[in-house]
């Protein structure tokens, strides 16, 4: 049982480049989330999914897209990276609220955009 | 507006001393409340959570938290801090029936020998 895993762990992009971050969970969780963490700002929700084939916007969705084609995977895409997207990105997953709800986090991806 | 406030950005305590980290929330519905810990370069680990019932909840690593509805607070406590507790601590709140959490800005804990 690996929990929540993220690929890659580190990445450096040039402005305007694109990339996809992969999140995988093996806990059969319905809900999955992408957060970004910036100094002094805690974690802010980018997008989330309440089940396979669904996605929804969070607090800071601009500049990102997501897909949930399989229940166990949640992809975060940056189509045209900007320096403001330099951050640490965390994926999380959970059962729906009311079913022992708590979010389980991956180890993070540190992204630098130059 | 929904929000979580952790008033203390950084706290330093001596090893063996007691600890209390503050968390206040503003939420329009019955909240789920959480405390997470993040060690440097790591992801977040759940310390404890409150859904309903007994307002004093016990968590891992000897931590506990008390929910006070009248004060909109969910403070984290530990009677005796260990050097390994040095980390950043995040309070978070979720709404009954929803899946997403709102996080506070975090409190960084340093432990003096």
> pLDDT tens digits, residue range B18-60?
999 999 999 877 789 999 999 988 889 999 999 888 899 999 9
Strand A19-25 relative to strand A4-7, pairing = antiparallel
Contact B90 A106 (CB under 8 A): no
Q: How far is CA A23 from the centre of its chain?
A: 7
pLDDT reading at B112 higher than 90:
yes
Q: What is the pLDDT of residue A40?
A: 82
Q: What is the largest CA-CA distance in chain A?
A: 43
Q: Give residue A99's pLDDT.
A: 64
The predicted pLDDT at position A98 comes to 64
Dist. CA A71–CA A1, nearest whole Å: 16
pLDDT tens over chain A, length 114 residues? 689 999 999 999 999 999 999 999 999 999 999 999 998 888 999 999 999 999 999 999 999 999 999 999 999 999 999 999 999 999 999 987 766 677 899 999 999 999
pLDDT at site B42: 86
A105 in B contact zone (CB under 8 Å): yes
Which residues, other chains included, contact A89 with Cβ-Cβ below 8 Å and sequence gap of 6+?
A6, A21, A34, A35, A36, A37, A46, A76, A108, A109, A110, A111
- Could you read off the pLDDT of B71-111 as tens digits, one per residue? 999 999 999 999 999 999 999 998 766 778 899 999 999 99
Nearest chain A Cα distance for residue B32, angstroms: 9
pLDDT of residue A58: 92
Partner residue opposite B49 with nearest CB, options A58, A102, A108? A102
The CA R_g of chain A, rounded to the nearest whole Å, is 13
**Count of pairs with CB atoms under 8 A, one residue in A, one in B:** 64
CB-CB under 8 Å, B90 with A43: yes
Most B CBs within 10 Å, among A103, A104, A107, A110, to test the B interface: A103
How many CB atoms neighbour CB A65 within 10 A? 14
* Interface contact flag, A43 B103, Cβ < 8 Å: yes
Among B43, B92, B104, whose Cβ lies nearest the Cβ of A108?
B43
Question: Distance between CA atoms of B106 and A44, rounded to whole angstroms?
Answer: 12
Question: Cis bond leading into A31, ω under 30°?
Answer: no
């Amino acid at each position: 049982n690996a929990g929540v895993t993220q690929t890659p762990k580190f990445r450096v992009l040039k402005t305007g480049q694109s990339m996809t971050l992969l999140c995988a969970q093996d806990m059969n969780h319905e809900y999955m989330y992408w957060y970004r963490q910036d100094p002094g700002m805690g974690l802010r929700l980018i997008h989330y999914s309440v089940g396979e084939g669904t996605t929804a916007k969070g607090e800071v969705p601009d500049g990102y897209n997501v897909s949930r084609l399989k229940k166990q995977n949640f992809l975060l895409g940056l189509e045209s990276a900007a320096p403001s997207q330099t951050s640490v990105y965390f994926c999380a997953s959970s059962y729906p609220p009311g079913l022992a709800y708590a979010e389980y986090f991956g180890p993070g991806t540190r992204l630098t955009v130059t | 507006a929904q929000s979580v406030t952790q008033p203390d950005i950084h706290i330093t305590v001596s090893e063996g001393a007691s600890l209390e980290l503050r968390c206040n929330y503003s939420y329009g519905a019955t909240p789920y409340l959480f405390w997470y810990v993040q060690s440097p370069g790591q992801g977040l680990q759940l310390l404890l959570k409150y859904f309903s019932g007994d307002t004093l909840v016990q968590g891992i690593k000897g931590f506990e938290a008390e929910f006070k509805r009248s004060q909109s607070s969910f403070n984290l406590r530990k009677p005796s801090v260990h050097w390994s507790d040095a980390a950043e601590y995040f309070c978070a709140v979720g709404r009954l029936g929803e899946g997403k959490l709102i996080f506070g800005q975090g409190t960084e804990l340093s432990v003096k020998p």
